[in-house]
A and B are shown apart, each in its own frame.
Chain A
Amino acid sequence: MPGSRDSSQANMKRFPKALTPSGTATTKGLRDANAAATHQPPERNPCLKPGSIDHLGGIFPTWSFRPQCTNFVAARHTSRPNAERGKPPSKLSRKLVKPGKIAFVFDTVVPIMQFDRDKPNALPIVYAAALAKHFDAYLETGVRQVNVVSHTLADAQTRILGQPIFMGKIQPGSRVLIVDDVVTYGSTLANLRGWLEQQGATVVGATTLAAGFGGTKLALPDNVRDRLLDRFPRQAETLANQLGFSAECFTNREARFLTGLKNEEEMQRLIVAAQELTLLQVRQLSIGRTNEIDPPSHPC
């Protein structure tokens, strides 16, 4: 329940212990483990709120995030233009994919399928296809980000306000590895996780080609959450609700940014902007700009 912070909820927000990585670090071990994987029924997580389009979000477990290379290697790699145009198998994916580092048991790979400004981003798809091939996993291409918010070079407030919205079905019970090109604030990964788990899938991990400083620590540490709620006891929850989740569900970097705001006025401006943006998006949806894209289903 948004706004409530009793201890039982604080415990619930943590990722279920049943999903702790199996420790199968080698490729062969992982393949074997994948073959023998048993499905754990997903537990309800208060950060995965079903509801309207703005009710998306979730925390991401720190342990399940393993960047595959040093920060921003992808941005510097000469093969990137080819990969962006979707020329697989690119040198980029071959050089950067280090499957041995992915120690999760998964059966489905879901790339972040999105438009970046005016063109589709091929990097996550190429990377995901490479992983799906290597691990003999299902490549899910039906889930996509349906709003276009350019996060490249965006500042923190733009990233927090412009939360990605996902649509598309996933097979319930799937054990999913989410794949993206870069993680910075973690909003995209967290929201996709929320969307998939809301449908009964289990997100066991995420991987990206590169990461911004501090981007790989996605889960919100208790001390950062407490600091945020001490500084902005009501506003933090209000902003989170406006964005579609609870304050417990901010990612680590989102929360750190908010904690560093100068005063309540700045926080209030963010809340007002979030309200305006929500109204704008609802209006865009209602006038049918997404003609042939089904609106999200509401399980509750």
Chain B
Amino acid sequence: MLAYTMSSSDKLKLPETRFLTPKEDQQLTDLAEDIAEKMLGPDWKERQEQRRAALSEESVQQ
């Protein structure tokens, strides 16, 4: 088995981590909507809502 080696220092260097800013969160939303509109068509949101309603109804029936 391979033996993995780690840093020789006593303390590990923590990975850089941060939370999304509201601006970045909006960027993600805009990107996703842009891609969806181009790939699924301009009316994708309406169709998605219809599908979601159908899924929800199906879930309730079961």
Binding site for B on A (CB under 8 A): 38-39, 86, 88-89, 107-108, 111, 113-115, 120, 122, 125-126, 129-130, 132-133, 138-139, 141, 144, 146-150, 154, 156-158, 161-162, 171-174, 257, 259-262, 266, 269-270, 272-273, 276-277, 280-281, 284-285, 289-293
Contact of B39 among A129, A174, A269 (CB under 8 A): A129
Query: Contacts A138-B52, A139-B40, A161-B14 hold; do A120 and B24 have CB atoms under 8 A apart?
Result: yes
Restricting to B1-43, which residues have a CB under 8 Å from any CB of A? Answer: 1-6, 10-12, 14-22, 24-25, 27-29, 31-36, 38-40
Besides A147-B17, A149-B15, 5 other A-B contacts (C-beta < 8 A): A129-B39, A147-B19, A260-B1, A262-B4, A280-B17
Distance to closest chain B CB from A147 (angstroms): 5
Chain A minimum-CB-distance residue to B51: A138
Whether A293 lies near B15 (C-beta < 8 A) is no
In the complex, 23 of the A-B residue pairs with CB atoms within 8 angstroms, ordered by the A residue number, are: A122-B35, A125-B35, A126-B39, A129-B36, A133-B40, A141-B32, A141-B36, A146-B25, A147-B20, A148-B18, A148-B20, A149-B16, A157-B6, A171-B56, A171-B59, A173-B58, A259-B1, A260-B1, A261-B4, A276-B14, A280-B17, A289-B18, A292-B22
Distance to closest chain B CB from A139 (angstroms): 6
Where chain A touches its partner, the secondary structure class is mixed
Whether A289 lies near B40 (C-beta < 8 A) is no
Whether A88 lies near B39 (C-beta < 8 A) is yes
Distance to closest chain A CB from B26 (angstroms): 9
Kindly state the separation between the CA atoms of A148 and B19 in the bound complex, as whole angstroms.
6
Kindly state the separation between the CA atoms of A111 and B12 in the bound complex, as whole angstroms.
32
Whether B20 lies near A146 (C-beta < 8 A) is yes
Query: Contacts A113-B32, A146-B19, A289-B19 hold; do A120 and B27 have CB atoms under 8 A apart?
Result: yes
Query: Contacts A141-B29, A149-B17, A157-B12 hold; do A171 and B52 have CB atoms under 8 A apart?
Result: yes
Kindly state the separation between the CA atoms of A273 and B27 in the bound complex, as whole angstroms.
31
Where chain B touches its partner, the secondary structure class is helix
Query: Contacts A139-B48, A148-B20, A174-B55 hold; do A133 and B27 have CB atoms under 8 A apart?
Result: no
Whether A120 lies near B31 (C-beta < 8 A) is yes
User: What 6 pairs between A and B have smallest CB-CB spacing?
Assistant: A173-B59, A141-B32, A162-B15, A273-B12, A129-B39, A292-B22
Kindly state the separation between the CA atoms of A285 and B5 in the bound complex, as whole angstroms.
33
Chain B minimum-CB-distance residue to A129: B39
Whether B18 lies near A284 (C-beta < 8 A) is yes
Chain A minimum-CB-distance residue to B59: A173
